[in-house]
Chain A
Amino acid sequence: MDNVKDSGNKIYSMFIPVVLIALILDIFYLNEVIDMWRPSFCALVLIFFASFDPYKIKIEIAFIVGIILDLLIASPLGSFAFIFATQIFIIVSQFKRFYLYAIYQQAIIIGISTFITYAVAYWLLHLIGVPNYKLAFVQRAISTTVCWPIIFLLMSFLCKFFAIYSPFSNENK
């Protein structure tokens, strides 16, 4: 227990700016053709931090980030909140040591969870009465999977650089 490095609330000082940048990347204007393939940066960043330290970045935080994204892109309030909360819930509750998995395993899990979550959200929104005619979430799930290794390595590097440690980092040894 003594060897456990607790980085305290330092993780928030990195989490908040990174999420802001991810939000900007999520709403940054892209051409329609490329836009369909835009990965969900916010979800990737949230998944990283939730797997990195599930005791600090919880599903409630993912929910709030989702609400902010809903407000920024004018989608029905609660839709992205639902998507992010569900993704984090799947990762945190079903894959308890997600951070320690091989990157390809993580990418596959993220791809599948993204696809399922978007499909459920699509169905839910359809029930509520939002007309959706496109199935762009398939492309989004693929691009999100492909982008995960980059985000994971980048975030891991940043965490090391700012000396933020995961509670799992000791278990690995």
Chain B
Amino acid sequence: MPNIKQKSNLFIKVRYILLVILAIALMVADVRLKALRDFRTYLETALYPVLIIVNIPNLISQEVKVQFKSRAQLIEENERLSSENYMQRADLLRLRALENENEAMRRILNSPLQHLARKIFAEVINVDTDPYLKRIVINRGSSVGVYVGMPVITDQGLVGQVIDTNYASSRILLLVDSNSSIPVINERNNIRAIASGTGSADELILTNVPRSADFQVGDLLLSSGLGGVYPEGYPVAIVTDTGFSEGQVIDGVKAKPIVNTDKIKYVLLFFYENIGEDLDNSTVTPKQISDDKYILRKNRVNELIESMNPAQNKQGQ
């Protein structure tokens, strides 16, 4: 036996040192050089069934919850949902009229038109448990056209963006992740700011906000659309603390994300890149000569030139 022991654990220190070097090399290659992207994609696609298995207890608990709902609860929920649906249908009628009006206005002003983008419905199948990361995995991947950088929303507001896609699943970086930042705009007074994640599920920090900026507790922050990653006008967070203190040049504004990332079950993926393509193809034409203002301005310029010419001629004579 002792011989076997000595033999089996032979060079354990050497083996360990080699493994540590390999681990550090892998970490550097993955984090700094991003060299293992393809490798990760293939392996993660292969490990997708494990994620499905992991999600089974969650599915069962949801199913049990649904099955154990009483008849009274179901009736109540049904009533609430139908009334909500009714109200939303009424709102939708107005929305269409407003959209048409907005389109007409934008045409008049020669501004580019904003088309409604295509969305994909997806289900959350896993949440990354690493305490440092705020990411979720959804059951849609590159097979249905999901791409990296795709904005993700729910019925309540913005959630984050896609950072990694496999064949059948994608990973979403939530707004509250410490690596995430989003340009926002205060709904009340249109002040722009950048909201960064803190790693905590219920806090965003507005970085580099001057003390003179008017942020108040309860202000709604919308995505500003700057930067081109997130679409404009989606609710992001509500200001919870302005952290005003004497002697500080920069204000520490804190906000609470509108979407509770712990409770997300379904998300919508937004084909935002396509809007750009639509813009290029859209029929935003240059001003025509028949445009009244243009003709008027041209006439005035002509008149001005003509009025100057005789004067010059007279002087010349």
A binds B: yes
With an 8 Å Cβ cutoff, the count of chain B residues facing the other chain is 51
The answer to whether B1 touches A4 (Cβ under 8 A) is yes
Q: When the two chains form their complex, are residues A75 and B1 in contact, meaning their CB atoms are under 8 A apart?
A: no
Closest to A90 in B: B16
Answer whether residue B74 sits at the interface, using C-beta atoms and an 8 A cutoff. Answer: no
The answer to whether B129 and A124 touch across the interface, beta carbons within 8 angstroms, is no
A52: min CB distance to chain B, Å? 13
Which chain B residues border A128 with CB–CB below 8 Å? 24, 27-28, 31-32
Pair B44/A85 contact, Cβ less than 8 Å:
no
- Interface bits B249-261 vs A (CB < 8 Å: 1, else 0): 0000000000000
How many of A's residues come within 8 Å of B, CB to CB?
52
CB distance from B30 to the nearest CB of A (A): 4
A137 to chain B, nearest CB (A): 8
Tell me if A54 and B129 are in contact (CB < 8 A). no
| Contact pick for A71, options B43, B57, B132, CB 8 Å | B43
Q: Which of B46-54, B102-110, B274-282, B283-291 contacts A (4 or more CB under 8 A)?
A: B46-54
Cα distance, A29 to B205, chains bound together (Å): 26
* B4 within 8 A of partner (CB): yes
Which residue on A lies nearest to B173, using beta carbons? A74
- How far is A36 from B131 in the complex, measured between Cα atoms in Å? 7
Chain B residue, CB-CB nearest to A21: B53
Q: Give bound CA distance, A66 to B19, whole Å.
A: 12
Q: Which of B78-104 contact A (CB under 8 A)?
A: none
Shortest Cβ gap from B38 to chain A (Å):
12
Contacts of A110-131 to chain B: CB distance below 8 A: 124-125, 128-131
- Cβ–Cβ < 8 Å partners of B22 in chain A: 63, 78, 81
In the docked arrangement, what's the CA distance between A31 and B23, Å?
Answer: 30
Docked pose: A20 CA to B54 CA in angstroms: 10
- Which residues of B have CB within 8 Å of A154? none
Pair B178/A133 contact, Cβ less than 8 Å: yes
Residues of B close to A79: CB separation below 8 A: 23, 27
Least distance between A30 CB and chain B CB atoms (Å): 7
Question: A93-B13, A128-B32, A134-B199 are known contacts. Are A78 and B53 too (CB-CB below 8 A)?
Answer: no
Asked if A59 contacts B132 (CB within 8 A), the reply is no
Return chain B residues, CB-CB under 8 Å to A55. Answer: 4-5, 8-9
CB closest residue in chain A, given B55 = A29
Whether B47 pairs with A124 at a CB distance below 8 angstroms is: no
Contact of A89 among B4, B12, B25, B164 (CB under 8 A): B12
Given A1-B1, A76-B31, A81 and B26 contact (CB-CB distance below 8 Å): yes
In the complex, A9 Cα to B4 Cα: how many Å?
16
Structural contact, B30 and A76, CB atoms closer than 8 A: yes
Which of B4, B16, B32, B179 has most A Cβ within 10 Å? B16
Say yes or no for A153: interface residue by CB 8 A criterion. Answer: no
Query: Is B127's CB under 8 angstroms from A76's CB?
Result: no
The yes or no answer to B154 lying at the interface (CB within 8 A) is no
Report A68 CB to chain B, min CB distance, Å: 7
Expressed in whole angstroms, the Cα–Cα distance for A143 and B50 within the complex equals 25
Contacts of A133 in B (CB 8 A): 132, 178, 198-199
What are 29 A-B pairs at a CB distance below 8 A? A20-B50, A23-B50, A27-B126, A27-B128, A29-B54, A59-B19, A63-B23, A71-B44, A72-B51, A73-B128, A74-B130, A76-B26, A76-B30, A77-B29, A77-B40, A78-B26, A78-B30, A85-B19, A85-B23, A93-B16, A124-B27, A128-B24, A128-B32, A129-B31, A130-B132, A133-B132, A140-B131, A167-B4, A167-B5
Known: A82-B23, A134-B199. 10 other contacts (CB 8 A): A38-B129, A63-B22, A72-B47, A74-B130, A81-B23, A81-B26, A85-B16, A133-B198, A136-B132, A167-B4
Give A contacts to B, CB under 8 Å.
1, 4, 20, 23-24, 26-32, 35-36, 38, 54-55, 58-60, 63, 66-68, 71-79, 81-82, 85-86, 89, 92-93, 124-125, 128-134, 136, 140, 167
